[in-house]
Amino acid sequence: MRTKVSFTAAGVRCAGYLYLPADSEPVPCVVLCHGFSGTMDRLFDYADRFAAQGFAALVFDYRGFGESEGDPRQVPDIDGQLVDVRAALAFARAHERVDPGRVLLWGNSLGGAHAITVAEGDPRIAAVVAQIPFNGFPKKVEGRSTGETLRLLGAIVWDALRGKLGLRPYYIPMVGRPGEFAVTATPEADQHIQTLTGGGTTLWRNSVAPRGLLQMMRYRPAEAAARLTCPLLVCAAAEDRETPLETTRMLADRAPRGELRVYPGTHFTFYTDPTFRDRVVADQIDFYRQKSAMA
């Protein structure tokens, strides 16, 4: 059963969907956090799979994204998104069908960093899965020239300045082809966009205010991982260019109860390959089942 829900974060309405299994007793709940410019509909399949295995699952949009309220739109703000995650946790714990002692966090890409960071400050979290999590930018992005890097840096600074002045954000594409001006430029750009738009039925937009990348340059989820008291599973892609294995591995290594599982494929394989996702989610469900039973 899927129900549309909402909760407030800093006085703004966040939209979400709560998936509930058929059981009538309170059950463990997985709270799912999407990535940098994502929307919650890209996580519906994950939520379905968790609910089919007896978990409740809550997906939601950060303020300013997707179905949630908030202006300006498409502006990633790390501190604000952490507030949104904490509000989602509070909503889940208060629900009558959720066991508040067995609430689990799941995050994808930047959402993986958020899940670790929030869990570090919340000892009631039973366990965390961080899928292809952000842990700092690579020193050199494959396929991006120095000139393209400088142009992106210029856009980041210009957009940040406009934010300080209260002006409309300076938006750029999130995904583009090699040589195109975008946050991520890949040979598979058309395929990635098709996947992220779900064939045109999603609220995801290929547009983002790049000022959020400036915040990400200072974001240190590995420091939070080192202080994490709950179990952590990091799911990484061997050929990931966006969140490289050498940086994601550090999160599992730093966490006192960290585990790492590496899968063949790229950052976007987690979005595009249903068979691949079967294997990954099965591993995550086994992890959560073990850890939520222990909590």
C-alpha 144, offset from chain centre:
24
The domains of the chain, with CATH numbers, are 2-136+219-294 (3.40.50.1820)
For residue 38, which of 17, 18, 64, 20 has the smallest C-alpha distance?
A: 64
Answer yes or no: is pLDDT of 176 > 80: yes
Whole-number pLDDT of residue 154: 97
Angstrom distance (rounded) from CA 263 to CA 279: 9
Question: Pick the residue with more confidence: 269 or 69?
Answer: 69
Question: Per residue in 100-151, pLDDT tens?
Answer: 999 999 999 999 999 999 999 999 999 999 999 999 987 766 667 888 889 9
pLDDT of 142: 62
Q: Is the peptide bond before 178 cis (omega within 30 degrees of 0)?
A: no
Residue bearing tokens 């410019």: 37
Cα gap 96→23, rounded to integer Å = 12
Taking only the tens place, the pLDDT of each residue in 42-78 is 899 999 999 999 999 999 999 999 999 999 999 999 9
Residue 295 CA, chain-centre distance (Å), reads 24
Alpha-carbon distance of 259 to 271, in angstroms, equals 22
Radius of gyration from C-alpha coordinates of the chain? 18
Confidence of residue 294 (pLDDT cuts 50, 70, 90): low
Q: For residues 84 and 86, what is the distance between their CA atoms, to the nearest angstrom?
A: 5
Predicted TM-score (pTM) of the model is 0.94
Q: What is the mean pLDDT of the chain?
A: 92
Are 32 and 107 in contact by the 8 Å Cβ rule? The answer is yes
Asked if pLDDT for residue 84 goes beyond 90, the answer is yes
Q: What are phi and psi of 148, to 5 degrees?
A: -65, -40
Q: What is the pLDDT of residue 242?
A: 86
